[in-house]
Structure 1
Amino acid sequence: MLSTAERNAQLSQQSLGRLAKEVALPGYDRSRLARGIVHVGLGAFHRAHQALYTEAVVAQGDLRWGIVGVSLRDPGVADRLAAQDHLYSVTERHGDEARTRIVGVLRDALYAPSHLAQVIRAIADPATTILTSTVTEKGYSQHPASADLDVADAAVRHDLAHPDAPKTTLGVLAAGIRSRPAGAPLTVVCCDNMARNGHSLRKLLVQYAGLFDETLARRIETQIAFPNSMVDRIVPAATPASLAWAAGRLGLRDEAAIVCEPFMQWVIEDCFAGPRPAWEDAGALLTADVRPYQAMKLRLLNGTHSAIAYAGQLCGLESVSDAMADPLVGQFARRLMLEDLRATVAAPAGYDVPAYCHELLRRFENPALAHRTQQIAMDGTQKVPVRWLPALRESLAAGVERPLLERALAGWLHYLARGRSDSGAPLTISDPGAEALIARLRAAADDGDAARAALAHEPVFGSAPWPPAFAARLARHLATLRQGGMAALLAG
């Protein structure tokens, strides 16, 4: 329990009057805010993105849409928010320009392993008509190559044996839906970087439920809406330095403070089962087809981000802005986006793709964010199959080489196999799905064997064969990396 002095020095409902004058406050009565949304994955991205769109709707007078946030893995985020009456700050920063607001739309923050019954009740409550999720690609128990439910996953097997005591995202969603009254409308909006994310989540949830409750599976498939969506905002993880900077700006300590870029985008398929917030009034785009926006963002933003992350890690560059300022890595990232990846996307009607690309590159160069390459490099075995491999397969099928994207793929494999930067510094590889692929790479007799072994790794590269000429080019890139590092690969 915080003392009175500590409460006065920390962000809370009681201490709002002590904030710096330039900080914007919630312009509504939080005590009247109903609970209409459950969000699973209470990380910084949600709190700096979907929550802000909802905050704007609530500020316009629609108080039905308070959010119950659910954390599946980290008890700390729920504890920090509860200690602050579920208030937190968001500062949008580019260079020397900054704008800060306090967000009040979060009504509760629950750590699912400790408060599972409350989480299930919140999802089951008929007043909850929207459920959103940001749990990263690996959080949906999806096999990266087949895109089906990974029934071999230990946590999935646990939930199938104990559906009323789930640990996984799918298990928690299914348990809550199973307890909802018949006919109560629900829309589930997946906000993670998966192609056709809404449809993918519905398929996975139906597959999961069908293994123990066919009635529940049919209900999920026929009665609940799963619109596809695309989200975009660069939100680095908080650091001691960013929290200290935010405290200086606020005049109070905020243990959940977020510092992010000004840009924000949300495109949602207009397919809802019941009431929803008027997110379009807050700037979201409601459309009949999200797919062109998803493909554009996955390949141009996320695909380039991943390439920057692995090249940056190998070259000892800590942040994206550091990488963009590096002559070799920055030029590689620009050419990869503008030449290789841009050629693989079909733009939405009337969309200015070159302008979008140049805006992305400007955002990557923002030195105020300190977006760490190590953070973006996480879980490559889940990200590469979505961000790079479809573009490569499509291009190879058309007889087109993508030399820059092929170099990026070689860089990732070298990053996994070597485990050290080009200067010899050990790298932190945070990717639970990479162990078997790393073993294949390190057991290879030579670069050609390594390329073929990697491409034969079905959990990432799928079962369809890759062209021998492509494998040969990949082997040459691996040889260049082994002999001269990333600088030699990018200079070639």
Structure 2
Amino acid sequence: MKQLSRSITAELSANVKYEKQDDLPEKIIQFGEGNFLRGFVDWMVHEMNKQGLFNGKVVAIQPTPHGKVVPKLKAQNCLYTLALRGIENGQVVESNEIISSISRAINPYSDWEQVLKVAESKDLEFVFSNTTEAGLTYLEEAYNPTSSPLSFPGKVAAFLYHRYQVMNGSPDAGLVMIPCELVEGNGDVLKELVVRYATDWKLSTDFIQWVEECNQFCNTLVDRIVTGYPKDNIDQYNELLGYEDVLLTAGEPYHMFAIEANEDVSMRLPFDKAGLNVKWGDVTPYRELKVRLLNGPHTMMFAACYLSGVDTVLEAMEDENLSEFIKQGIYEEILPTVKMEDSEKRQFVDSVIERFLNPYNKHYLADIGMNAVYKFKSRLIPSLLDYVKAENSLPRSIVFSLAALFVYYRSDRTEGEFLIGKREADEYTIRDNKEAITAFSNAWNDFDGSESGLENLVSGLLERSDLWGMNLNEIIGLQDMLVAFLSNILQDGMKESVKKRTELATK
């Protein structure tokens, strides 16, 4: 079977969409070439190009020395297939499209001079990135104008400095930085890091002033599940497409991109005019929307559903009792606490339910359970506190999910730095920071099985402000409700406890 390349695009089957987009200027440099950027930003650029709204290409830069994507992109003439699978507005979506928005891919560690040539281009306008949260950090390193810095912010600083020099510090040479890393205030963080590198490298104060005044660093929020290469059913994809694509990227139809930028940027990047779900302006309400109504339900469901015997979000949604538990928590407890226009937040939460029901995504509950204590603190405690303030009562589904988390963190043994829990005959790894691991390990080891012992366990864990951001014993009634839920779970098991919980709530 032939491999995807420009030479086979004239003989594609009806199962694949492709529109040739050659001879367009390179307007974007992109640090990162992984699944997410190719299934999100590069797809969006492709969509704008198809409609004649942007007419620009992307230069993709390998972010780390050990990357493997650049050679694959070069072998396929920088073409790849995006397969979108899921449910959108009640309709099943299955689409396959060859994305052609990337013009070339560069390994900066072997071809730094090519990256600097891009910096000299008058066509260049934007910098996108996704180097993971670890990429937006400071790494002490020396400046060498002839070789690539190791860190992502260091690369940006060196790239901008070369552009500044070549263009004689022209204010018009400034670029728009649109980072996609999942870090709050990611644009502000990137700007601070670039200035720090410039300062440490003793680059000119005029350059630093140019960075701060002539370049725009945008805070953003991204939302799309991109699962990447579908290795489990790649043979079916190859047969459907009629060719092999080593960069085949699978994802869900849903997408949302919130960007803080001035009106000029939104005019030059007309995502919304292309029909894309891009929000221009303050990202804060959209961050709360996503954290509370997507991430929050994930954290709320993982322990109760996993310990009830299912492994994925889809399996949980297909179980009558588990689905009812999830929906009660979302619609009755979390949704009312979100400060946004009712129609918009309801539209979002309805899309969340569709995403949970996506038959093409295997979203494992055990993966969601990694670092669950921090996730509960950031994703659910704000909703819990707001609900108590508004209703003068406790949100029972959220509290039950905290009890389920307590039971999930009960371990039989340790393995390295982590705990090993047990679900009937199956073992699972409890991954969290040292403080959480130690706190739960000690609490359960000290538990003697008595009612007073359970009260001590709950009280001792709730008071750990280092885990939850506050002493949760201060919330009136929380300790008693948590003890009652834990007692039911330990006595009847998780599955039966969830069933009783949902039956009581629906009466």
TM-score, structure 1 normalization:
0.78
Mapped partners of 1:482, 1:73: distance in 2:
50
Report how far residue 120 of structure 1 moved. Answer: 6.7
Report the CA distance shift for 1:139/1:488 in structure 2 as closer, same or farther (over 3 A). Answer: farther
Report the CA distance shift for 1:186/1:481 in structure 2 as closer, same or farther (over 3 A). Answer: farther
Report how far residue 114 of structure 1 moved. Answer: 6.3
Write the letter of the residue equivalent to 1:176: F
Map 1:81-230 onto structure 2 (within 5 A): 81-94=73-86, 97-110=93-106, 122=118, 127-137=123-133, 139-141=135-137, 156=138, 159-162=139-142, 166-181=149-164, 182=169, 183=171, 184-199=173-188, 201-202=190-191, 215=205, 220-230=211-221
Report how far residue 287 of structure 1 moved. Answer: 3.0
Report how far residue 186 of structure 1 moved. Answer: 1.6
1:255 matched to 2:235: no
Equivalent pair of 2:61/2:108 in contact (CA under 8 Å): no
Give me the CA root mean square deviation. 3.8
Secondary structure of 1:85 counterpart: coil
Mapped partners of 2:408, 2:113: distance in 1:
42
Mapped partners of 2:102, 2:40: distance in 1:
13
- Which residue of structure 2 aligns with residue 344 of structure 1? 337
Report how far residue 277 of structure 1 moved. Answer: 2.8
Equivalent pair of 1:185/1:273 in contact (CA under 8 Å): no
Equivalent pair of 2:63/2:131 in contact (CA under 8 Å): no
Report how far residue 354 of structure 1 moved. Answer: 2.5
Write the letter of the residue equivalent to 1:28: Q
Equivalent pair of 2:33/2:62 in contact (CA under 8 Å): yes
Identity percentage of aligned residues:
24
Secondary structure of 1:342 counterpart: helix
Report the CA distance shift for 1:212/1:482 in structure 2 as closer, same or farther (over 3 A). Answer: farther
Write the letter of the residue equivalent to 1:82: K
Equivalent pair of 1:233/1:263 in contact (CA under 8 Å): yes
Equivalent pair of 1:270/1:287 in contact (CA under 8 Å): yes
Equivalent pair of 1:39/1:132 in contact (CA under 8 Å): yes
1:40 matched to 2:47: no
TM-score, structure 2 normalization:
0.76
Write the letter of the residue equivalent to 1:306: T
Report how far residue 303 of structure 1 moved. Answer: 2.0
Equivalent pair of 2:462/2:471 in contact (CA under 8 Å): no
- Which residue of structure 2 aligns with residue 472 of structure 1? 479
Write the letter of the residue equivalent to 2:36: F
1:440 matched to 2:433: no
2:281 to 283, 288, 305: 288
Greater Cα shift, 46-55 or 394-403: 394-403
Secondary structure of 2:163 counterpart: coil
1:231 to 211, 217, 222: 222
- Which residue of structure 1 aligns with residue 40 of structure 2? 49
Report how far residue 380 of structure 1 moved. Answer: 4.7
Secondary structure of 1:236 counterpart: strand
1:330 matched to 2:323: yes
Mapped partners of 1:202, 1:238: distance in 2:
33
Which entry has the higher C-alpha Rg, 1 or 2? 2
Gaps (5+ residues) in structure 2? 412-419, 448-453, 502-507
Report how far residue 466 of structure 1 moved. Answer: 4.0
Equivalent pair of 2:313/2:365 in contact (CA under 8 Å): yes
Write the letter of the residue equivalent to 1:368: Y
Report the CA distance shift for 1:407/1:69 in structure 2 as closer, same or farther (over 3 A). Answer: farther
Equivalent pair of 1:11/1:253 in contact (CA under 8 Å): yes
Map 1:40-79 onto structure 2 (within 5 A): 40-61=31-52, 62-72=54-64, 75-79=67-71
Equivalent pair of 2:30/2:58 in contact (CA under 8 Å): no
- Which residue of structure 1 aligns with residue 300 of structure 2? 307
Mapped partners of 1:292, 1:191: distance in 2:
17
Greater Cα shift, 293-302 or 396-405: 396-405
- How many residue pairs get aligned? The number is 462
- Which residue of structure 2 aligns with residue 420 of structure 1? 421
1:21 to 6, 14, 19: 14
Report how far residue 49 of structure 1 moved. Answer: 1.7
Mapped partners of 2:442, 2:488: distance in 1:
19
Write the letter of the residue equivalent to 2:82: V
